[in-house]
Structure formats: C-alpha cells, structure tokens
Amino acid sequence: MSASEGGSAGGPRRTPEVAGGLPALAATLRHAARAGFGRTLSALAVVNQREGFDCPGCAWPEAPERGWIEFCENGAKAVAHEATKRRADRAFFAANPVAALRARDGRWLEAQGRLAEPMRLAPGAERFEPIGWDEAFARAGAALRALEAPSQAVFYTSGRASNEAAFLWQLFARRFGTNNLPDCSNLCHESSGTALSEMIGVGKGTVGLPDFELADLILVIGQNPGTNHPRMLATLERAARRGARIVSVNPLREVGLVRFAHPQHPLRMLRGGTPLADRFVRVRVGGDVALLKGVMKELLALDGERGGGVLDREFLARHTAGFEAFRAGLEAVSFEALEAQSGVARREMRELAELYAAAERTIACWAMGLTQHRFGVENVQEVMNLLLLRGQIGRPGAGPCPVRGHSNVQGDRTMGIWERPPAAFLDRLGREFGFEPPRAPGTSAVQAVEAMARGDVRAFLALGGNFAAASPDTERTERALGRLALAVHVATTLNRTHLVSGGEVLLLPCLGRSERDGPPERPRFVTVEDSMSFVHRSQGWLEPASPALRSEPAVVAGLARAALGPDDAVPWEAFAEDYDLVRDGIARVVPGFEDFNARVRQGAGFTLASGARTREFATPTGRASFAAVPLPRIELAPDQLLLMTLRSHDQFNTTVYGDDDRYRGIRGGRRVLLLHPDDLSERGLRDGDLLDVTSHFGEEARTARGFRAVAYDVPRGCAAAYFPEANALVPLGARAAKSLTPAYKSVAIRVRASGERGTVAGVPEPEPTCPSA
C-alpha cells in the first residue's frame, strides 16, 4: 500500500491548494460513470431542486435562488452510490456465504449494489435466503412479542430517515412500550443539543442561511466543510467576496478553507478560486476550551482597556444569567495553562479577541471536532459563552450554527427520536393516539451496546445506518451485536452490521431518496429538516432499483402492525399509503408543524420557530445561561499522543467510495496514522513505516496493527486517523458525561513499529483486535 504521494519524514507533502474546481468535476463524472451515466445524471438533475429530492448527504440548506446544479462532489457520490445499477440479489447471497462476506471490508460490501428483496439469515445458517414481506413481518413481530419486556428491544435510527418515517418509528417503539430510541445523533452532535438546551433552551442553532449574507465574522471551529459539508463552501465564498472575515479553528489546515473554486463560476475557477479563511488558528487536539477561555480573557481585558463598548452590557443585563460566576472562573485560570493546553500563543488569542471585538455580527459554526470529546458539552458551552459576551444571538447575521452531518438527523430528533423525550411531547403523543407512552428513559447508542453485551437487549431494529461501523470499540460492539436473538435492518445496501448480528437477521430493502415512491401518476413525497430548522419536501423520480422495494414508512408500518397485532388502534395501513395522514398526526403532536400539509406545499417550505432567535429563552430563568466551565484535565504520559478520528475526502460517514484522500495528498490506502515529523523522529520512526497503535483508557488497552505512518502537519503531540478504521481504538467508556457522545476525538495512544512487543503502563499489550485490511 502506498499511503502517501511524495514527502518523506520532515519533507513536504503535495496537497492541493484549492478545493472544488476541475478535479471535483472529474471525480463527479468518474462516480457517475461507475454507477451508470443515465440513471445518475437523471437523479442529479433534480437533487436539491424544489420539485426533486433532498440530497442523501449532508444537511446544509439550499439557497432560495437555485441554479441548475445544486449538488457538490460528495453529494454526487452519494447519489451515484444510491443510483447504482448493481444489485445484491438472491443470486448474490446464494453465491456468497456469510463467512465469506464477513471477510470482506465495508467498502466492498456496499459496492455490491442495492438490496433487491427481503432476505433472512436463520440462526446458524450459512447463507441469507429470500423471504416474502408478509413472512418477514410475521417473524419479526412474533420475535418481538416473545420478549420478556419491551425494554429488551432497541429501535435505532439513522439520520437519513424522513420525518414521516421517523415519526412512525418512534410511535411504533412507544406503542411497543419503550423509549429505547438511540440514533446517530448520540454519536455525533448530542453534545451540541445538550449544551444549547441548557444555555438557550433549544437544542438547535439559531441562524438561517440569510444570516451568512450579513455576518462580518464567521468562526469555523472543529469543522472541515470541504469534505464534510462541501456546499457550505459556496456560502462561505459569497461571504468572503463581500468582505466578511472567516477564521478556521482546527488542528489541521484543511484545503477546503484555503481557497474554493466554484464549478458554476468558470472564470473564477480559472483564476484559482476565491480565498476563504484569512486566519487559521492551529489548536491542539482537545485544546478548544483552553483557546476559547484565552480569547474571552483577552476580550474582558479589551473591554476594561477601552472603558467598555466591547461587551454587550445591555444584553448581559437583560437577557443572561450566571455572568459573574462565569467571569470568576475565567479569571481563576492562567494564560500559561491556557497556552500549554491549547498550543496557541497568547498573542494569537489577543488577535482573535480583537477581530471578534471589531465585528458587529458574528456566526460561530462547529461540527464534530468539538462534540466528540469527553468534554464535548463543555466545548460547545464555551462557544456559546463567547457569543453571549457580545450579544451575538437573536439578531440578524449572528448566532450559533451547529452543522449537522447527515441529511435529516435534526429532523429525526424533532420527530421524537430520542431516548429521553420531554414529558410534554409524550403527553401530546398519548392524547393523539390514545395510549400512555412509556416514561422511563431509554438507552443511548453506547448504552445500547452495553445493554446488548449484558444480555439485557435481545432485539435490535435499525432504520438505516451501519451501527457496528459507526460505534466505538469495534470488537466489543460486534460481540454485543452477536448476542442478539433478532436483528431487523431497514436498508438500501449491505453493510458490516448486517453480518455480525447474532440469532435471526432480516434485511428489509427500502426505497432510496432518489427513487419514486408510489405509481407514476400519484407519486408521494416526504419531508426533511435541514441543519438550520428549515422543513421542506423531498420527492424521488427514479424508477425503483427493484419492484420488491417498499418505502420506509411502509416498512415501519408493516413491522408495527405485525408486532402490535391486528387490534392496535393506530391506522398503520392508512399511514403507509397516505403520508398526508402521517403529517396531520405530526401537526397535532410536534410544536411548529401546525397546518403541516398546507405549509410544506407552499413555496420552498418553512422554518421552525425558535424563541432563541428572538431572545426568548426557554430556560428555568427565562434568560440565556452562562456556563462556568472548568479547564479539562488532559493527562498524557510523555510518550503518548492524543488521537482524533476524521473522514477522508472520498467517504460519507461510514460509506467509503475510494482509498484516496485528494485534499490531504494521501493516496492508495486508508489505514494510515498522521503524525508530526518530529513526533515520528522522536520515536525512531519514518514516513511510510508500518505501525502498531495502542490506545489507553484507565487500565484498558486495545491495539490495532498495520497502520502506515504519514508525516503530516498536525500539532505536536497529536495524531489523526480515519474512521471507521480507527474506531477499534476508541474505548466505549470514554464519552462525554452529559451527552454520552463517544470521545472519538480524544484517544490516548502509543505507537511503535509493527512487530515490536512489550508491556505498556504495566498492562500486557493485547492481541490484535483490528488486523490490517
């Protein structure tokens, strides 16, 4: 495997200087050709258009004025992946025993194409076999009814599910008797929702796309838009061209924030694109709280030096609580401690404070670089503290903007996919459907793994997703899934999770976003909510990949009827046929969706109201609350590094499209570990060496072998590797205390050349748990 292209330890690595442009167009065409030009281009013609379907990729909003191309390179890959002509049908499963499939990697599995009909793996069987829909529903229903208690079932949800499917899914789970509704938000942005709910009374951001046309300063913190939310680059380009300042706060200097060449603007593209971020703050992994504290200390100092005018004193007095306790905590920590933990000099903190003080309107964006830490909630709290100091919330062109990474993960939560639902939501749900919903909290994603491992959960139902690959502690998660009696997967393609579940496994294939739902003369549409609380319709137009496919709402309704029995009063069959009926139910249960059917058919859609947008905060005090955040303790042994996981440019979540990472200059392999050249040389290692990586959490140690060393410009003492390959190193117990989000971005590791054995911290090194692919 060639893990890099050029560049030895200490030498330069050839990376592009511009995101987008002709290479992005070329990559789009390659993926379209691989899937079949006709079907893919037909889908791309309507993706993100008002009469088309919402991209199955990221949740960045569409602009009111839309061009004929409303997709990015990674969106095109996602559409091509869904529109592929390849099929994982009964002939495929007959030719491939489960043991052989388990030996394949995740990329190969998903590349075999769309699931074409329901399949069943009987307990102890060697192969999946076809099964009819009615029998599949009946078997799932019987197995669920045979459980000793409803809490023995878990209903997992991926962010790709529509609002209608998600609402029915949570209704099914609660009619069954459990709040065990973990979702992918537990693994990514749960820390955002937790912090925002505590501080401003709503777990969402407060800005909309028009605010980016007004902002003077845009902070992009712990986020790589060029790979994870590429359509955001067009928004940032417009802001930069009108003079807004953009600051990137991130351990890596990602090319997506250096320059952007918009493919729809050929002249700009030929001139080398538009510079975006004019300042890169290279914080150490885990150093965000320290950096933000330093900036805020300097901000308070500026206010004192200028005799006021920096802090928004009127906003602080009228709309906030807890400022004095926050300020006391800030004053108690030294700049020396903040510089040491953040890796950022006080001078740079001062410059950032001055830049912020000069901006009338500031938006702070962030993603999983902030949320996936043991102190992920605290990271987000400090961002909010920074915004509150200058009243940068509830005004045009300013506010918090958590950028969700999946197309409807925010909508799923709005629809009630949550293991800890508010009592008011359950009250309304119970009144609408005539039952008493369960009140006991359910399990989050990591708690579900622990419950399966204990044997407390016996059935796992998944509405999309690849739970085994997305979850931390890969070996432990797969062992836990192997203890199940029943696994039901509503899916479009085959993935690793489908092959490690124990007992009976049912694969129930559903329509993709791009495919027509219903007959040509009466196509149905569903709805989604983007990252900025805008709700709009989504309607596929492609011929379904197989006549045996059913829509997500229809599959959920079929499972619910089979499990709850013929006497259940919910009109499941009617819901499966007429989504207007589902939306009428949503309108009566979920605040903000009143007159849902009429409003979603008017114009482009509607924005959900939020009191925080108008400085009405649904907190116990009725005010936005400052958080007194302690400086996190990050304790590493002298030879340890802090590892963060990240995506390559050629993947979306757990779906990997190729082995190259064009924007980082890494080609030919994903099993790589990015290290500073000096950290390599200190350990007697060189660029290209094969490494064993051991992670440490308490007295636990886990080792993954066969990682290729890549000399890269990461901060000293830090390392980076791709997920899901590095998830084997992430301890299940290392998670944020309040949100329970796994600490994918702060894993203590040691590295050594492959083949060296030994004892680390008094703990014998384990046998390999994640062999080289």
pLDDT tens-digit map of 696-710: 999 899 999 999 999
Q: What is the CATH number of domain 191-202+210-402?
A: 3.40.228.10
Q: Read off the pLDDT of residues 682-691 as tens digits, 9 standing for 90 and up.
A: 999 999 999 9
Q: What is the DSSP letter of 548?
A: T
Mean of pLDDT values over 192-215: 96
Q: What is the pLDDT of residues 466-516, one digit of tens each?
A: 999 999 999 999 999 999 999 999 999 999 999 998 899 999 999 999 999
Handedness of CA 614, 356, 193, 48 (dihedral sign): positive
Q: For residue 704, how far is the Cα from the chain centroid?
A: 24
Residue 267: what pLDDT? 63
Task: Convert the pLDDT of each residue in 65-119 to its tens digit.
Answer: 776 667 777 777 888 888 899 999 999 999 999 999 999 999 999 999 999 999 9
Residue 317, Cα to own-chain centre: how many angstroms? 36
**For the chain, what is the mean pLDDT?**
91
- pLDDT digit string (tens) for 176-186? 999 999 999 99
Contacts of residue 329, defined as CB under 8 A and 6 or more positions apart, other chains included, come to 628, 629, 630
For the segment 403-428, what is each residue's pLDDT rounded down to a tens digit? Answer: 987 788 899 999 999 999 999 999 99
d(CA 314, CA 318): 6
Q: Bridge partners of 77?
A: none
What whole-number distance in Å separates Cα of residue 512 and Cα of residue 517? 9
Confidence of residue 63 (pLDDT cuts 50, 70, 90): confident
Report d(CA 653, CA 632) in Å as an integer.
Answer: 28
Tokens of 758: 């030994």
Beta bridge partners of 510: 550
CATH topology of domain 641-764: Barwin-like endoglucanases (2.40.40)
Q: With beta carbons less than 8 A apart as the criterion, state whether 379 and 288 touch.
A: yes
pLDDT at 61: 86
Name residue 624's amino acid: A
Write the CA distances from 637 to 221, 291, 717, integer angstroms.
27, 22, 11
For residue 761, name the pLDDT band (cuts at 50, 70, 90): very low
User: Does domain 87-175+435-547+559-609 match CATH 3.40.50.740?
Assistant: yes
Length of the chain: 773
Cα–Cα distance, 308 to 296 (Å, whole number): 15
Closest CA to 496 of 514, 477, 510: 477
Residues forming CATH 3.40.50.740 domain(s) in the chain: 87-175+435-547+559-609
pLDDT digits (tens, 9 = 90+) for 512-523: 999 999 999 999
SS (H, E, C) 78-120: HHHHHHCCCEECHHHHHHCCHHHHHCCCHHHHHHCCEECCCEE
Mean pLDDT of 630-652: 93
Predicted pLDDT of residue 31: 67
The region of weakest confidence among 272-286, 305-319, 558-572 is 272-286
What is the predicted pLDDT for the residue at 264? 67
Query: pTM of the entire structure?
Result: 0.93
DSSP 398-455: -EEEE--SSTTHHHHHHTT--SS--HHHHHHHHHHHTS----S----HHHHHHHHHHT
Tell me how far apart the alpha carbons of residues 479 and 476 are, in angstroms, rounded to a whole number.
Answer: 5
* Residue 60: per-residue pLDDT: 86
> pLDDT exceeding 90 applies to what percent of the chain?
78
C-alpha of 260 from chain center: 23
Instruction: Tell me where in the chain the CATH 2.40.40.20 domain(s) lie.
Output: 641-764
pLDDT at 389 over 80: yes
CA dist., res. 536 & res. 382, Å (int): 32
Q: Which of 682, 536, 487, 508 is nearest to 130 (CA)?
A: 508
CATH 3.40.228.10 location in the chain: 191-202+210-402
> Using one digit for the tens of pLDDT, what is the confidence trace for 546-602?
999 999 999 999 999 999 999 999 999 999 999 999 999 999 999 999 999 999 999
Confidence of residue 13 (pLDDT cuts 50, 70, 90): low
User: Strand pairing of 320-321 and 624-625?
Assistant: parallel
Enumerate the β-bridge partners of residue 707: 691
pLDDT at 536 (0 to 100): 94
Provide the token pair at 5: 């292209």
Question: Terminus-to-terminus CA distance in the chain, angstroms?
Answer: 10
User: Strand, coil or helix: what is 334?
Assistant: coil
What distance in Å separates the CA atoms of residue 171 and residue 438, rounded to the nearest whole number? 11
Q: Does the pLDDT value for residue 773 go beyond 60? A: no
735 three-class SS: strand
| Among 541, 543, 548, 470, CA closest to 507 | 548
Q: From the CB of residue 308, how many other CB atoms can be counted at a distance below 10 Å?
A: 9
Instruction: Please give the pLDDT value at position 80.
Output: 80
pLDDT at 275 > cutoff 80: yes
Is the pLDDT assigned to residue 266 strictly greater than 80? no
pLDDT of residue 294: 98
pLDDT band at 756 (very low <50, low <70, confident <90, very high): low
Q: Rounded to an integer, what distance in angstroms lies between the CA atom of residue 196 and that of residue 191? A: 8
- Is pLDDT above 60 for 764? no
- Report how far residue 437's alpha carbon sits from residue 614's, in angstroms, rounded to the nearest whole number: 33
The reported pLDDT for the residue numbered 364 is: 98
Which helix (DSSP H) or strand (DSSP E) does residue 711 occupy?
strand 700-711
pLDDT beyond 50 at 757: no
The structure tokens 């320290």 sit at: 290
Confidence of residue 651 (pLDDT cuts 50, 70, 90): confident
Task: Return the structure tokens found at 443.
Answer: 């399990």
